[in-house]
């Protein structure tokens, strides 16, 4: 006599539902960010920040635009998408009050310092990354404006000491954003696996 193997009633957790506004923000942000990085590397190759025109350059496959003029056109075009996307998202989270549970709080800091619950720590790290995105993205936009219009935004140049220092800070702000983006994606996989990632892009 054989016994039937009981079927498992366990179901996979459903894919979280995300607002359309959140999906649009992520798509526009990612496309704009990579376009800005590609065109920025092309600008660097045409007129490097370090070492002059004879300095080290990035592979052409990683760049966007033809020559300095073409790269600048791409860079300025996506600069507006990137900046306006951040602006309307800021307005969105303000009016929907999403900032209350999206950004780091004193309780999150306490969990990161003293907590023993791995899941709770992951959520705290997630909110910390969200919070760190704000000053980094604003820094990238601020230094970009100073480089674009150094006369009209002379106070930005003065804030960093010189135009060259401004360029260096702008150049390094983007890898910092990319590092946070990778960390943010890994945390999303850890907290919600592919379900959470799919909910943003599906």
Question: What's residue 16's pLDDT?
Answer: 61
Q: In this predicted model, what pLDDT tens digit does every residue of 143-200 receive, in sequence order? A: 989 988 899 999 999 999 998 899 889 988 888 888 888 888 787 777 766 666 666 6
Q: Could you tell me the end-to-end alpha-carbon distance of the chain, in angstroms, rounded to an integer?
A: 48
Integer CA distances (angstroms), 135 to 129, 141, 143, 176, 195, in order: 11, 10, 12, 11, 29
Weakest mean pLDDT among 27-36, 43-52, 95-104: 43-52
**Torsion angle of C-alpha atoms 127, 133, 138, 143, degrees rounded to 10:** 160
Cβ pair 28, 92 in contact under 8 A = no
Quick one: the chain helix, strand, coil %, rounded to 5?
Answer: 75, 0, 25
Q: In this predicted model, what pLDDT tens digit does every residue of 50-79 receive, in sequence order? A: 655 667 788 888 899 888 889 989 999 998
Distance CA 131, CA 19 (A): 20
Question: What's residue 14's pLDDT?
Answer: 61
> How confident is residue 39, by pLDDT bands cut at 50, 70 and 90?
very high
Distance CA 35, CA 40 (A): 8
Cβ pair 85, 29 in contact under 8 A = yes
Weakest mean pLDDT among 33-42, 98-107, 124-133: 98-107
Question: What's residue 120's pLDDT?
Answer: 82
User: In this prediction, what percent of the chain has a pLDDT beyond 90?
Assistant: 12
Residue 118's nearest CA partner among 15, 186, 191, 196 is 191
Question: What's residue 1's pLDDT?
Answer: 47
Average pLDDT value over all residues in the chain: 81
Question: What's residue 8's pLDDT?
Answer: 47
Question: What's residue 35's pLDDT?
Answer: 93
- At which residue do the structure tokens 């179901």 appear? 11
């Amino acid at each position: 006599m054989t016994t039937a193997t009981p079927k498992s009633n366990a179901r996979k957790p459903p894919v979280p539902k995300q607002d359309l506004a959140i999906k649009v923000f992520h798509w526009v942000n990612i496309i704009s960010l990579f376009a800005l990085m590609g065109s920025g590397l092309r600008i660097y190759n045409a007129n490097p920040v370090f070492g002059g025109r004879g300095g080290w350059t990035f592979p052409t496959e990683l760049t966007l635009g033809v020559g300095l003029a073409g790269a600048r056109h791409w860079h300025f075009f996506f600069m507006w998408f990137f900046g306006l996307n951040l602006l309307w998202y800021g307005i969105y989270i303000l009016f929907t009050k999403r900032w209350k549970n999206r950004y780091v709080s004193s309780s999150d800091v306490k969990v990161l310092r003293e907590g023993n619950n791995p899941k709770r720590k992951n959520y705290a790290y997630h909110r910390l990354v969200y919070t760190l995105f704000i000053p980094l993205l604003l820094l990238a936009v601020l230094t970009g404006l100073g480089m674009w219009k150094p006369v009209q935004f002379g106070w930005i140049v003065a804030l960093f000491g010189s135009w060259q220092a401004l360029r260096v800070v702008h150049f390094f702000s983007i890898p910092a954003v990319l590092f946070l983006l990778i960390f943010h994606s890994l945390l999303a996989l850890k907290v919600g696996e592919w379900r959470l990632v799919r909910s943003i892009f599906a």
